[in-house]
């Protein structure tokens, strides 16, 4: 098991010299926010220093120093993660990419954008649109950085049509743990050229190298889009409609599901009751939200007709058309606010981000609700019905923290076992961090887990990059003084 040195004052001065006074925090000056992400239930760990790098060269210099000093380095974007991925569990240095926030250039002939990793997703998306292009990955957390998105292979709402972040990364610049700078991938869309180190980097959560520049694929912006809300009696009937929707050849951009209680919470919290709760005289218990894209109104209308037929057969109370820009904004803002709404109304919170086959979603949710009830916690859930990726939040407002953790552990053990039984994945897009390591090992098996560890060893023999994450063992041994 790895052991590390504390950051010596002398080494700290070297780091300070690299980034300069204004972008360096050390000792008491380190801000508390760097000790956790959005899931503080997994513990708070304050780094010894924070460097806000602005260039590949600075990142390289920082890593070189830390590598020599045997000090851990944890890369951090906006800190919006949910599994402790950017939390420096072994102390050391946090390397923030937030100042590497420039969109560098567009290549309009090859439909790519070159960008630094600290650009926020919302800024990249808006900028691409201003260029008449679309960056398809659309994770719910719009203030995350693209670097973070790549490091977690974030998926989001449009994955059902466009795929996930991985499918849009063509090339990147990476700094290895010892400071060497390496370019991976090319601005072309095909490769049959050896092991893909590029794809190893994607989703590696900052454990193999530090991404300092990205070349991302864009697509032409669809001419028109429309969203449709299908209210259902309950989650089981809602989910049961999804295979039929997928079979209807509509090529939907997204198929989201949401349960009534999260919709109610969101309405109460934001004052924006955009989802109708009573439809044609009947109480809606769950919703499917579908977005269709097309080149013109005629094409969209034809698709909507087909969707309407499918929805009616599947027992939807109605098919509601979200056509105007204002309404689209309201509907999707409500959808995007779900997590923050949950965070705001909940004292203790833990989450699962499992993926199960689409036809098992309802069954899995029913199982989770039953288990949660047995454990005395409550559950809020929503997610990507089109690809089986569920966001399940386990909440409590009255349990003691230790008791909550104990009960949630039981709940999660059962749910992840069920997920494995259903041939599902531990995480669809939030990743493993240090929170889900055990469930990953159980899910992939010891052989695969061991190979992951071996790969980590090749990239980072000293284990200084983001210790204790994904497949790397570091269990809080004493730091060498």
Residue 33, number of CB atoms within 10 A of its CB: 10
Check binding of 68 to another protein (CB under 8 A): no
Closer CB to another protein, residue 55 or residue 301?
Answer: 301
Q: How many Cα atoms are found within 13 Å in the side-chain-facing hemisphere of 353?
A: 21
Q: Which of 146, 228, 238, 349 binds another protein (CB under 8 A)?
A: 228
Q: Which of 222, 243, 308, 357 binds another protein (CB under 8 A)?
A: 308
Question: Closest approach of Cβ 116 to another protein, in Å?
Answer: 17
Check binding of 397 to another protein (CB under 8 A): no
* Whether 232 contacts 286, CB under 8 Å: yes
Check binding of 71 to another protein (CB under 8 A): no
Question: Closest approach of Cβ 277 to another protein, in Å?
Answer: 12
Check binding of 273 to another protein (CB under 8 A): yes
Using the rule CB under 8 A, give the single segment among 166-174, 326-334, 368-376, 459-467 that binds another protein.
326-334
Using the rule CB under 8 A, give the single segment among 82-90, 105-113, 315-323, 355-363 that binds another protein.
315-323
Residue 185: which of 162, 205, 202, 210 has the closest Cα?
Answer: 202
Residue 81: which of 24, 25, 151, 135 has the closest Cα?
Answer: 151
Q: b/e per residue, 165-185, with b = 16+ CB within 10 A? A: beebbbbbbbbbbbbebeebb
Q: Which of 19, 229, 258, 392 binds another protein (CB under 8 A)?
A: 229
* Residue 56 DSSP SS3: helix
Check binding of 111 to another protein (CB under 8 A): no
* Total interface residues for another protein by CB under 8 A: 38
Euclidean distance between CA atoms 193 and 91, whole angstroms: 38
Q: Which of 337, 349, 365, 390 binds another protein (CB under 8 A)?
A: 337
Euclidean distance between CA atoms 255 and 384, whole angstroms: 6
Check binding of 55 to another protein (CB under 8 A): no
* Whether 365 contacts 428, CB under 8 Å: no
Torsion-angle region of residue 293: left (phi > 0), alpha (psi -120 to 50) or beta? beta
Question: Closest approach of Cβ 21 to another protein, in Å?
Answer: 8
Closer CB to another protein, residue 109 or residue 280?
Answer: 280
At 249, list the tokens.
């050849």
Helix, strand, coil shares of the chain, percent, nearest 5, are: 40, 25, 40
Using the rule CB under 8 A, give the single segment among 210-218, 321-329, 389-397, 406-414 that binds another protein.
321-329
Using the rule CB under 8 A, give the single segment among 81-89, 174-182, 297-305, 352-360 that binds another protein.
297-305
Q: Which of 119, 258, 263, 320 binds another protein (CB under 8 A)?
A: 320
Check binding of 325 to another protein (CB under 8 A): yes
Check binding of 28 to another protein (CB under 8 A): no
Question: Closest approach of Cβ 274 to another protein, in Å?
Answer: 8
328: which residues sit within 8 A by CB, 6+ positions away? 225, 227, 322
Check binding of 341 to another protein (CB under 8 A): yes
Closer CB to another protein, residue 216 or residue 337?
Answer: 337
Closer CB to another protein, residue 1 or residue 344?
Answer: 344
Euclidean distance between CA atoms 348 and 338, whole angstroms: 16
Check binding of 327 to another protein (CB under 8 A): yes
Question: Closest approach of Cβ 93 to another protein, in Å?
Answer: 17
* Whether 211 contacts 307, CB under 8 Å: no
Separation in Å, CA 283 to CA 225, 228, 309, 335 = 28, 18, 21, 19
What does the DSSP assignment read for 134-162? E---B-S-TTSBHHHHHHHT--BTTHHHH
Q: Which of 5, 270, 277, 346 binds another protein (CB under 8 A)?
A: 270
Q: Which of 106, 323, 367, 378 binds another protein (CB under 8 A)?
A: 323
* Whether 145 contacts 120, CB under 8 Å: yes
Question: Closest approach of Cβ 377 to another protein, in Å?
Answer: 22
Check binding of 32 to another protein (CB under 8 A): yes
| Burial category of 281 from C-beta neighbours within 10 Å (exposed 0-12, middle 13-18, buried 19 and up) | exposed
Q: Which of 68, 283, 295, 343 binds another protein (CB under 8 A)?
A: 343
Check binding of 15 to another protein (CB under 8 A): no
Which positions touch another protein (CB under 8 A)? 21-22, 25, 31-33, 143, 228-229, 269-274, 276, 297, 301, 304-305, 308, 318-327, 333, 336-337, 340-341, 343-344
């Amino acid at each position: 098991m790895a052991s590390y040195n504390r950051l010596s004052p002398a080494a700290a001065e070297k780091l300070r010299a690299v980034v300069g006074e204004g972008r360096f925090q050390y000792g008491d000056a380190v801000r508390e926010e760097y000790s956790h992400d959005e899931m503080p239930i997994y513990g708070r760990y304050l780094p010894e220093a924070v460097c806000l790098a602005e260039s590949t060269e600075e990142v390289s210099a920082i890593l070189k120093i830390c590598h020599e000093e045997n000090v851990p380095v944890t890369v951090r974007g906006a800190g919006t993660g949910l599994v402790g991925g950017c939390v420096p569990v072994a102390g050391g240095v946090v390397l923030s990419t937030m100042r590497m926030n420039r969109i560098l250039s567009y290549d309009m002939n090859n439909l790519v954008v070159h960008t630094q990793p600290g650009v926020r997703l919302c800024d990249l998306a808006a900028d691409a649109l201003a260029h008449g292009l679309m960056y398809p990955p659309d994770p719910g957390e719009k203030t995350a950085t693209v670097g973070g998105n790549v490091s977690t292979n974030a998926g989001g709402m449009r994955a059902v049509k466009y795929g996930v972040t991985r499918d849009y990364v063509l090339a990147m610049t990476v700094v290895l743990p010892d400071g060497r700078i390496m370019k991976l991938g090319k601005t072309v869309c095909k490769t049959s050229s050896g092991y893909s180190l590029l794809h190893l980097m994607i989703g590696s959560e900052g454990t193999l190298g530090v991404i300092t520049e990205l070349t991302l694929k864009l697509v032409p912006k669809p001419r028109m889009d429309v969203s449709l809300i299908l209210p259902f009696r309950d989650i089981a009937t809602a989910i049961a409609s999804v295979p039929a929707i997928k079979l209807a050849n509509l090529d939907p951009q997204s198929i989201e599901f949401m349960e009534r209680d999260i919709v109610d919470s969101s309405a109460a919290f934001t004052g924006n009751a955009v989802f109708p709760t009573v439809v044609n005289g009947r109480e809606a218990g769950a919703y499917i939200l579908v977005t269709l894209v097309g080149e013109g109104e005629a094409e969209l209308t034809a698709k909507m007709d087909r969707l309407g037929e499918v929805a009616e057969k599947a027992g939807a109370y109605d098919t509601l058309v979200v056509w105007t820009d204002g309404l689209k904004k309201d509907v999707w803002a409500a959808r995007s606010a779900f997590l923050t709404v949950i965070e705001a109304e909940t004292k203790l919170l833990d989450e699962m981000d499992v993926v199960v086959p689409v036809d098992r979603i309802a069954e899995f949710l029913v199982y989770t609700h039953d288990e949660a009830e047995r454990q005395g916690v409550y559950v809020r859930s929503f997610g990507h019905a089109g690809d089986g990726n569920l966001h399940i939040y386990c909440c409590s407002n009255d349990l003691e923290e230790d008791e909550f953790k104990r009960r949630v552990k039981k709940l999660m053990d059962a749910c992840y076992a069920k997920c494995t039984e259903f041939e599902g994945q531990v995480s669809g897009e939030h990743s493993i961090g240090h929170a889900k390591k055990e469930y990953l090992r159980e899910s992939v098996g010891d052989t695969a887990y061991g190979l992951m560890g071996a790969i980590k060893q090749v990239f980072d023999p000293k284990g200084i990059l983001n210790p204790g994450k994904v497949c790397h063992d570091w269990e809080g041994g004493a730091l060498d003084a």
